Amino acid sequence: MTKTDQKQHVVIIGAGFAGVQVARGLGAAGVRATLLEQQNYHLFQPLLYQVATAALSPADIAEPVRRMLRRFASIEVLLGEVTGIDVALRRVALADGNSISYGILVLAAGATHAYFGHDEWAEFAPSLKSIADARRVRSRLLLSFEHAEMSDDQAERKRLMTFAVIGGGPSGVELAGAIAELARYTLAKDFHRIDAKSTTVLLLEAGPRILPAFPEELARYAQRKLESLGVTVRENCAVKDISQVSVMAGNDTLPIGVAIWAAGVEASSVAKMLGVATDKSGRVKVNGDLSVPGLPDVYALGDVALVLDTAGKPLPGLAQVAKQEGYYLGRSLVRKILDGAATPDFEFHNRGNAAIVGRQCAIFDFGRWRLKGMFAWLLWALVHIYLLADFQHRLLVAVQWLWQYATYDRGARLIVEPMRRARCDRAPGGK
């Protein structure tokens, strides 16, 4: 039995960190809620780059939403794409023509990639926001090595074995380091005609330094470690154009085999359906209790919300921020619905900002104190294993990381995109 009626029915859009946390809070109190999501799984996005670089398989970082919420009888999970929100009638329209009425609406639809007005670049430089994105990047990386193995043209080989990561934030840094390690430690043992250790990885950052959200001391340490892996870091290097075979960065045109976009994100387009003002990233500005100004019983959190900290600065789009907001809003709505009680404004507690640079190397910024190197790497691994959805995934990921650490091998090297036609001048069986 649920403890709410139709007027208090909560509809949650999005099953990311924030949306799932809200649903859990409501479900634990028996409050009726419907969770809408386009996919049937919750995705652990911080480890998507490991799927893209063959360290993990998609199933290692995805968990069926119904399984996560099945113990909560008051929570209904529905697959559907939201196409409109009528805040006057309190209805959410779906792509299949159906609609759902709500008493309280929670918008937690997440974010997508932003190409700053150059959406045509998406074809040549995919981002990492979904499993499909990660599989596409992995296929293109591995195909580039395969094409290089078949080519007798040294210039073409060099181009195919040059990879550009655009954006020097944590995602770009982690991705660049992982590609360099994939080439140096794993693929170098698999190919015989090419030297995978000679792979060039470019990390292109438009600003004056990589990892601008971290203290400069940690950012410079991370840059030195990346360079020791063979990554070329280019700062003050804004990208002006991207094609299938090159990137124009600064005043240079760089031949590349694969480009990957890690330079920016914007809120889900669902945020605009509320009809309220948004910032340049598409985020909805919210009150201290995460409610949307001017819209009764509408809340936004996670990557679609512009939430300010106690110093008046926007909170970053991190998993820990979304989880804390979800936990807060779940409890807040329970008190409002069952007791009619108000709650204090949301307050974020920083658990530390981290980035992994490579094997045995990471950085952690806790504000008052900082950590780098091997101990930061171990802490990063423990935190991410803990945050995975259930014990099964924690165990599988831990075993795979231990195996990779001991053997330098990566087992998820599957190419799922069609083999594009490659020029190969070498005759069959030739030397």
Does the pLDDT at position 250 exceed 80? yes
Q: How confident is the model at residue 422 (pLDDT cuts 50, 70, 90)?
A: very low
CA 360 to the chain's CA centroid: 22
Residue type, 184: R
Beta bridge partners of 252: 249
CB atoms within 10 A of CB 344: 9
pLDDT tens by residue, 8-42: 899 999 999 999 999 999 999 999 999 999 999 99
Instruction: Give the chain's mean pLDDT.
Output: 92
- Out of 275-284, 313-322, 391-400, pick the least confident: 391-400
Read off the pLDDT of each residue in 402-409 and give the average, rounded to a whole number: 78
Q: What is the pTM for the complete model shown?
A: 0.91
Catalytic residue among 174, 181, 205, 266: 174
Whether residue 266 contacts residue 248, with contact meaning beta carbons closer than 8 Å, is answered with: no
CATH of 119-263, one of 1.10.3720.10, 3.50.50.60, 1.10.275.10, 3.50.50.100: 3.50.50.100
Question: Which stretches of 135-179 are assigned E, i.e. beta strand?
Answer: 162-166
Q: What percent of the chain has pLDDT over 70?
A: 95
pLDDT tens by residue, 160-216: 999 999 999 999 999 999 999 999 999 999 999 999 999 999 999 999 999 999 999
Q: What is the pLDDT of residue 406?
A: 73
Of residues 86 and 427, the one with the higher pLDDT is: 86
Does the pLDDT at position 389 exceed 90? no
Q: Is there a shared CATH topology between the 6-38+80-113+265-339 domain and the 119-263 domain?
A: yes
- Domains of the chain, residue spans: 6-38+80-113+265-339, 119-263
Q: Which helix (H) or strand (E) holds 334?
A: helix 319-334
CATH of 6-38+80-113+265-339, one of 3.50.50.60, 3.40.50.1110, 3.40.190.10, 3.40.190.150: 3.50.50.60
Of residues 158 and 352, the one with the higher pLDDT is: 158
216 labelled catalytic? no
* DSSP classification of residue 336: I
Burial per residue of 86-122, b for 16 or more beta-carbon CB atoms within 10 angstroms, e otherwise:
ebeebebbbeeeebbebbbbbbbbbbbbbbeeeeebe
Q: How confident is the model at residue 395 (pLDDT cuts 50, 70, 90)?
A: confident
Does the pLDDT at position 225 exceed 90? yes
